[in-house]
Structure formats: C-alpha cells, structure tokens
Structure 1
Amino acid sequence: MSDVNSRASLPDGIRFAFGTLTVLPVTVTRWDREAARAGMLCAPLAGLVVGLCAAALGGALTLLGAGPLLAAVASVAVPAALTRGLHLDGLADVADGLGSGKPAEDALRIMKQSDIGPFGVVTLVLSLFAQVAVLAQLYGESWARGAIAAAVAAVTARLALTLASRAGVPPARPEGLGAAVAGTVGPRAALLAGVAVVGVTAGVSLPGAVAVVLGCGAAELLLRRCVRRFGGVTGDVFGALAEVAATAALIALAL
C-alpha cells in the first residue's frame, strides 16, 4: 500500500482525476491528500478527453449531414454521460441551497436531499439551453468552430476545479469529495496550471483562450459566493463550478 506521506506520481494524479471526474474505467490506486493534489492538477487533462469526445461526436454528426442543433445536443450530452450527470446535479443542488435563503447548515442539508427544487430545475434548464444554443450557433458556422468550443468548455470546466482546490479554500463538510480535495493545490501550482491551459488553448484558438479566462472568472465568483454562504466547498459546489465555467466559456465564444 502506498505511503500516504509520499509524493504522488503523475500516473497517480491521472488515475485520480479520471477516476473521480469521469466514468471512464480507471482504478484509483491512491486516495490521500497527495493523490488528490496531483489529481486536481490533472483535472484539465480529464476535461480535454471529455471535450474531445464531445467534439468528435458533434463534429461527426455535422459532417454526416446532421443539423447544428442535433450536433449541439450531442456535444452537451457527452460530458453529462461521462460524468453520470454529477456536475449537473451539483449545479441544481447549489442553486437550491443558495436560493433557499436558509442558514448554512440548513442549506447544506437541502443540497444533500435527493430531490431537486424549483431553483435547481430553472437553473438546469437555462444552463443546458444556453450551452445548446451557443454550440448550435457555432456548429452552424462550421463544424470546426463547434468542435473547438465543445473541447474548450470541457477543459475550462475542469480547470475551474483545479483553481477551486487551491489552499485557502476550506471544505464545508468534514467528509465527501469536497473535503478530500479542498486546499490540496498550492496557489503557485494552481496559477501555473491556469497559465499552461490558457497558453495551450491560445495556440489553437485565441478566442478560446479568452473564453477559458472568462469561464474561470465566472466560476471564481460563484466559488466566493459559496464559501461565504456555506462556509466552504462540497462535491456539489465543485459540480456547479464546472457547469458555470463551461457555460460562461461558451457564451464568451458566442460573443
């Protein structure tokens, strides 16, 4: 068994990232703070794979003659399927928690309930509509623009998780994924990860790089709101951050 005090290797981080952020068949061999740190630094890589899968399906449908709306729906469905809808569920739960207006303890209890309230339903519908609308517009312009946008959105979503895992951001609960990864990434490492993702994206698409920055900025605003409101982050908050970052990045690309 791995020494929990030893530094996690790159393969440990990749397995942690793919094992916790996707449904791809990966065995997580380490579940400790060092593995979580490496895993959250590798989160954008998991996002890239998810994004490329979404882009491949949307682009293929377009090239086969499907309309841009169908390609957009497919590109939105792939990330949902590859995460079992957990990020969307987190978005709905956070919307219900924030919309409840109740104290932090009560709001966290609402977020843990299995049902979705009116705030969550409305937020989910509007978010998915926005994502589909933007991708349909971009696929309508060219299959390449739509495919690039799908990939950029997925990478931005996971980069937002890396940044939210930085030191100084506390967990709202003592258990769960939020507690496992909260505060594991050093601020310098988080910044370097962000710069690397923006730099690589700029090499492919300058508007895409701008979208990454704006998407992460929107997620940061939500993160600060959640920390003030709930006292920290939870797995649901991470899911909400991913969806907000992806949606904001797509809107930025549309504009």
Structure 2
Amino acid sequence: MRNLPAEGPGYPSPVIPLAGIRFAFGTLTVLPVRVTRWDRDAARAGMLSAPLAGLVVGLCAAAAGGLLTLLGSGPLLAATATVAVPAVLTRGLHLDGLADTADGLGSGKPAEDALRIMKQSDIGPFGVITLLFVLLAQIAAVYELYGEGWAYGALAATASALTARLALTLAARPGIPAARPEGLGAAVAEVVPVRAGLAAAALVTAGCAGAGALLDGFGPLRYGLGVLAGLGAAHLLLRHCVRRFGGVTGDVFGALAETAATAALLVLTLG
C-alpha cells in the first residue's frame, strides 16, 4: 500500500466526490493520482468509486487486446496482453493479495498465525499454485472470447474489471470488520452503507447487461449473470476469510478482486 497522507482538518465536505475518486485511483491503481484525504468519509466515497477505477483498468485491458488483434495477432497473444494489463496497472497488488490470502488460508493455522504468514514477503506453495491456476483460467477464458470476435473479448475484459472492483465496494459494507487495526483493510472496513453498495451493484450489473445487448440476443443474460457470479464467488471467499481471519485485510481485498474477475470471465465463456 502507498504511503498516504494522514487525515487533516480543513477539508470541506463538497470535495468528497473528488476526494473519493482520488482515493479509489490512488489506492487501487498505479495511475499518478495523489490521495488528498485519508479519512472515513473519503474512504466511503473511494470504495463507492472503485468500479470507476475498474472501468478505466478494463478499458485499458480491452484496448491492449484489441490493438494486438487489429495488428493481426492471434487470440492467445491478445488474451495474454488483456490479462497482463490489470496486473501492470495495479502493480500486481491484487495478485499478491490473492497469493498471500491463499497461503494464509492454506496454512490451516489460527488467525493470528495465518495473518503473520500473509504479511511475509515471500510466496508459499499455496500462493504459487493459486496464482498459476487463476491466471491460466483468466487467459483461457479471454482467449475463448476473443475467438468469438474482438468485441467479445474487449467487453469481457471491461466487465470483469468492473466486477472485480464492485466486489471491493460490497466487501466494505457494515458487518465485515477489519482483521488488523492498521492497513488498507482497516481504513475501508464497514464504510459503505448497504443501500449505497446495492445501488452500485445494480448500476454496474445493468450497465454490463446493457452493453452485452450490443453483442447478441443472449448478451444481457450472459453479462448480467457474469457480474452476479463474480460477486457471488467473492462473497463466498469473503465469508470464509472473515471466519478464518476475523475480518478483512488489504490482501483479502486483492483476493476478492481476482476471484470476482475470474468467476465473471468463466461465466461469460458459457453459451
């Protein structure tokens, strides 16, 4: 996590939307956006703005794959580039969180020991295996979609990135405590009101379903189900992490994002 400025006085409430966008892009991407506020109000607005960061990441991923396709590359290379872009734009933090969470869960140790394992800089066997299969699944799914046409792969890349960040919005709802008193998990835990999170979920789901309608008659159903499947998979992982660790951490948020993106992509390949 980046070194962020501490909360300070003198920030008027009207700047919250802009501060929230800065928070979302500054913490969830490597884009040069300076986080100007680090307080609960900014964290709430930031987590509600997380899908916007996902939209930008997804569009960049779609652009990379689309450009290679237009230059004459095959769907496998386009799929690899599409999956690589989100990793680059997050400096691998979500993938690192996925690996650390897998190591913590796979250790079978009590919460305190598992959290200590997750904080170590190295990656254990559970993390390596999880990364391998998740990345292979993502590339395989996007490869299949590019095989249907450039638009299918590009839209899937965008929808999966949106779903990944929407899962973070919903994971910051009340009733999901932080596992540690410090870190990104503690900063954003329980900041998003349930109604606001559901409204964000409805907006993203409807937007993806509407975009799917541009592809074929089953597009709205496929993309609506893809978003819901991604959120469902992330929810199951979140519940398990809360039981095992006592709450969420920055690593858990990364794991939720990658899980949601992968599940969404897999559903989009069906039918």
Q: TM-score, normalised by structure 1?
A: 0.98
C-alpha distance in structure 2 between counterparts of 1:200 and 1:148, whole Å: 11
C-alpha distance in structure 2 between counterparts of 1:193 and 1:127, whole Å: 26
C-alpha distance in structure 2 between counterparts of 1:199 and 1:217, whole Å: 16
Match of 2:242 in 1: 227
Match of 1:97 in 2: 104
Match of 2:3 in 1: none
| Cα displacement string for residues 127-163 of structure 1 (whole angstroms, at most 9, x for unaligned residues) | 0000000001111110100000110110000000000
Q: State the SS of the aligned residue for 2:64.
A: helix
Gaps of 5+ in 2: 1-7, 213-219
How many residue pairs match? The answer is: 255
Counterparts of residues 67-146 of structure 1 (less than 5 Å): 67-146=74-153
Check whether the contact 1:52–1:150 (CA below 8 A) recurs between aligned residues.
Answer: yes
How far did residue 7 of structure 1 move? 6.8
Q: TM-score, normalised by structure 2?
A: 0.92
Gaps of 5+ in 1: none
How far did residue 61 of structure 1 move? 0.6
| Cα displacement string for residues 70-124 of structure 1 (whole angstroms, at most 9, x for unaligned residues) | 0000000000000000000000000000000000000000000000010000000
How far did residue 4 of structure 1 move? 6.8
C-alpha distance in structure 2 between counterparts of 1:186 and 1:62, whole Å: 42
Q: State the SS of the aligned residue for 2:73.
A: coil
Q: Which residue identity is paired with 2:246?
A: G
How far did residue 203 of structure 1 move? 1.1
Match of 2:177 in 1: 170
C-alpha distance in structure 2 between counterparts of 1:13 and 1:235, whole Å: 18
Q: Which of 145, 149, 152 does residue 156 from structure 2 map onto? A: 149
Match of 2:267 in 1: 252
RMSD: 1.2
Residues 4 and 174 of structure 1, relative CA distance in 2, 3 Å threshold: farther
Counterparts of residues 231-242 of structure 1 (less than 5 Å): 231-242=246-257
Percent of pairs with identical residues: 72
How far did residue 209 of structure 1 move? 2.0
Which aligned segments of 4 or more residues in structure 1 are displaced greater than 6 angstroms? none
Q: Which residue identity is paired with 2:265?
A: L
C-alpha distance in structure 2 between counterparts of 1:209 and 1:47, whole Å: 17
